[in-house]
Amino acid sequence: MGAGDRIRRRALATRVAQRLTGHAESILGFQGLIVDDLEQSGPADALADALKVRGAALALKALVERLVSPDDAGASANLDDATLRHDLRTPVNAILGYSELMLEDYADALSATVVGDIHMVVEECRRFLAKTDSFTAEDVDRNESRIDEGVAAALERSLATAPQSDDGEAGRILVIDDDRANREILKRHLARRGHEVRTVASAEAAFRLLEKSPVDLVLSDVLMPDLNGIELLTRLKTSDAWREIPVIMVSGLREIEAVVRCISAGAEDYLQKPIDPVLLHARVEASLERARLRQREKDFVARIAYERDRADAILHAMLPAPVIRRLRDGEAVIADRIPAATIVFADIVDFTPLVARTEPTALLRRLSALFRAFDDLADRHGVEKIKTIGDAYMAAAGLPEPHPDHARIAIAFARDVLQIMSQGIGRGLSLRVGVHSGPVIAGLIGRKRFVYDIWGEAVNMASRLESSGQPGHIHISQATLDLLGELDGEVALETDLKGVGRTRTYIIRV
Q: Are both 103 and 168 inside the same structural domain?
A: no
pLDDT of residue 74: 46
- Does 398 score more than 80 pLDDT? yes
Higher pLDDT, 149 or 31: 31
**Cα(174)–Cα(196) distance, integer angstroms:** 9
Non-local (6+) Cβ contacts of 3 within 8 A are none
Tell me the pLDDT band of 7, cut-offs 50, 70 and 90.
low
Q: Are both 159 and 253 inside the same structural domain?
A: yes
Determine the average pLDDT of the residues in 471-481.
90
Q: Are both 121 and 237 inside the same structural domain?
A: no
Q: Are both 273 and 347 inside the same structural domain?
A: no
Any domain includes 394: yes
Tell me the pLDDT band of 474, cut-offs 50, 70 and 90.
very high
Higher pLDDT, 95 or 352: 95
Which residue, 94, 109, 143, sits at the end of a domain? 143
Mean pLDDT, the chain, as a whole number? 82
**Cα(434)–Cα(394) distance, integer angstroms:** 10
**Cα(278)–Cα(84) distance, integer angstroms:** 32
pLDDT of residue 82: 65
pLDDT of residue 44: 86
Any domain includes 24: yes
Give the model confidence (pLDDT) of 26-84 as tens digits.
888 888 899 988 998 888 888 988 999 999 999 888 888 777 564 554 444 445 566 67
Q: Are both 136 and 190 inside the same structural domain?
A: no
H-helix segments, 268-346: 277-318, 321-328
Q: Are both 270 and 335 inside the same structural domain?
A: no
Any domain includes 364: yes
Any domain includes 307: no
Q: Are both 119 and 173 inside the same structural domain?
A: no
The CATH number that applies at residue 180 is 3.40.50.2300
Any domain includes 11: yes
Non-local (6+) Cβ contacts of 282 within 8 A are none
Cis peptide before 400 (omega within 30 of 0): yes
The CATH number that applies at residue 452 is 3.30.70.1230
Strands 473-477 and 501-509 come out as antiparallel
Buried b (16+ CB within 10 A) or exposed e, 20-54: bbbbbbbbbbbbbbbbbbbeeeeeeebbebbbbbb
- Does 432 score more than 50 pLDDT? yes
CA dihedral 306, 311, 316, 321 (to 10 degrees): -80
pLDDT of residue 164: 46
Cis peptide before 274 (omega within 30 of 0): yes
Q: Are both 402 and 346 inside the same structural domain?
A: yes
Contact 67, 13 (CB under 8 A): yes
> In DSSP terms, which residues pair with 393 in a beta bridge?
346, 388
- Does 172 score more than 90 pLDDT? yes
Non-local (6+) Cβ contacts of 397 within 8 A are 341, 342, 344, 381, 382, 383, 384, 403, 406, 407, 409, 410, 413
Contact 500, 434 (CB under 8 A): no
Determine the average pLDDT of the residues in 406-414.
92
Which residue, 81, 113, 143, sits at the end of a domain? 143
- Does 493 score more than 50 pLDDT? yes
Any domain includes 315: no
Q: Are both 65 and 138 inside the same structural domain?
A: yes
**Cα(400)–Cα(321) distance, integer angstroms:** 9
**Cα(229)–Cα(62) distance, integer angstroms:** 25
Q: Are both 366 and 285 inside the same structural domain?
A: no
- Does 349 score more than 80 pLDDT? yes
Q: Domain range holding 67?
A: 3-143
Higher pLDDT, 265 or 312: 265
Tell me the pLDDT band of 486, cut-offs 50, 70 and 90.
confident
The CATH number that applies at residue 34 is 1.20.120
pLDDT of residue 163: 46
Any domain includes 27: yes
Q: Are both 356 and 435 inside the same structural domain?
A: yes
Neighbours of 168 (CB within 10 A): 16
Q: Which amino acid is at 161?
A: T
- Does 205 score more than 60 pLDDT? yes
Non-local (6+) Cβ contacts of 215 within 8 A are 172, 173, 174, 198, 209, 245
- Per DSSP, the three-state class of 300 is helix
Closest CA to 64 of 36, 119, 99, 27: 27
Any domain includes 314: no
Closest CA to 336 of 269, 398, 426: 398
pLDDT of residue 25: 86
Q: Are both 130 and 239 inside the same structural domain?
A: no
Which residue, 143, 165, 189, sits at the end of a domain? 143
Total domains in the fold of the chain: 3
Cis peptide before 43 (omega within 30 of 0): yes
Determine the average pLDDT of the residues in 283-289.
91
pLDDT of residue 17: 64
Q: What share of the chain is helix, strand, coil (3-state, %, to 5)?
A: 55, 20, 25
pLDDT of residue 148: 45
Q: How far is CA 6 from CA 10, 11, 73, 464, in A?
A: 6, 8, 9, 113
Closest CA to 176 of 111, 222, 142, 136: 222
Non-local (6+) Cβ contacts of 135 within 8 A are 12, 15, 16, 19, 81, 84, 85
**Cα(89)–Cα(111) distance, integer angstroms:** 29
pLDDT of residue 496: 77
Determine the average pLDDT of the residues in 343-370.
84
Higher pLDDT, 115 or 315: 115
Determine the average pLDDT of the residues in 9-16.
58
**Cα(64)–Cα(107) distance, integer angstroms:** 32
